[in-house]
A and B are shown apart, each in its own frame.
Chain A
Amino acid sequence: MSSESLVAAATILAFGLIVLGVAFGSAIGDGIVASKAVEAIARQPEARPNIFTFMFLGVGVLEAFPIISLGLAFYLLLVVANVPGLLAHLKH
């Protein structure tokens, strides 16, 4: 096993782990926000526009963290380890 293939495998595993955690956490967070918004609308239907505003605000603030970690994961994959370059190198 060459060191290039080891680096590529480890980076792809790390990328997968990051995406796993990001998807898991942000899905749970978005689900909590949406379910609370539905509860609030069911309790007070007249406050619907206000609740929608704050739901979108909460989702917008919350979505930043998965997006930031996804950006860092892509940075790891494409710039730090340069996996496409490594794979192209391994093919030849």
Chain B
Amino acid sequence: MKEGIGSHSLWTLPVLGPVHADTILTTWLAMAVALILLAYVGSSYRSPSVGRTQTVFEGIVDYISDMVFGSLGKTGEPFVPFFISLFVFIFLLNQFGIFPFKELGLPFGGSPTGDINTTIALALIVFVLIQVMTLKRKGIGGYAHLFKPIFLAPINILEEIVRPVTLAARLFFNIFVGELLFIIIASIVTAKVMIGPVNLSIAVAILPFFIQFFNFFVGTVQAFVFTLLGIVYLSLATAEDH
């Protein structure tokens, strides 16, 4: 089972070279689920009875739009749909590791966010958004705060570049180590550690259940942290005056 982690099936594309096929297929599946689910929720919105699904999604929308308006003010209104879709997408990607598609022999499975390419792409989206909005709102003068005082300019520029790297690394390692812990505990269970006549592996047989629950919690919190840090970085970059 140990060789299952960190290894991906590859597609070789003409220009890009080898890409991770299982990550791409799972991401497409998550995108399809998200689109169908949100289209269903959106189309049933005007019905007179408020169901449970609608209540959950209204809660998410309210919560994230409150956060955006709280830190960006009125100017943050165009970004509300972006951050809501970012949260829902990362949440779905994180939770896809729960389904054992790979163990059933399907070509997809595992969390796409357990692959660093996905998280770097998501962090780059946020980074490019922040740079574009800085240039649009403040022009080239938006970068002036990096150069005061002038001798701290390298550290300030480094801080700006390190932000997307830590965003990507945080999400990737949380999901990846969650899967790794699950597989290591499972390998302890299957290893049949015997002390005399007592099979010690029975004692940890309940642990994968708790680890999977912990992974669900971590996936939710990390999706939330990714979204909120994106909002905070955007508000730092586009704030009117310091």
B-binding residues in A (CB < 8 A): 56-57, 59-61, 63-64, 67-68, 70-71, 74, 78-79, 84
Contact = CB atoms under 8 A, between A and B. Distances in A.
A67 B175 CA distance: 9
Contacts of A56: 221, 224
Given A71-B180, A74-B180, A64 B2 contact: no
B138 interface: no
B174 interface: yes
Contacts of B228: 57
A64 B221 contact: no
Contacts of A70: 173, 177
B176 A71 contact: yes
A59 B221 contact: yes
Contact of B169 (A57, A61, A63, A64): A64
Nearest to A78: B2
B220 to A, nearest CB: 9
B170 interface: yes
Given A64-B170, A68-B169, A78-B2, A57 B177 contact: no
Of B2, B218, B228, most A-chain CB atoms within 10 Å: B228
B65 to A, nearest CB: 14
A84 B2 contact: yes
B229 interface: yes
B2 A68 contact: no
Nearest to B167: A64
B225 interface: yes
B173 A71 contact: yes
A13 to B, nearest CB: 19
Contacts of A57: 224-225, 228
B80 to A, nearest CB: 18
B60 to A, nearest CB: 14
Contacts of A74: 177, 180
A61 B218 CA distance: 11
A59 B218 CA distance: 10
Pairs of residues from A and B, 6 with the lowest C-beta to C-beta distance, nearest first: A64-B170, A60-B225, A60-B221, A68-B173, A71-B173, A71-B177
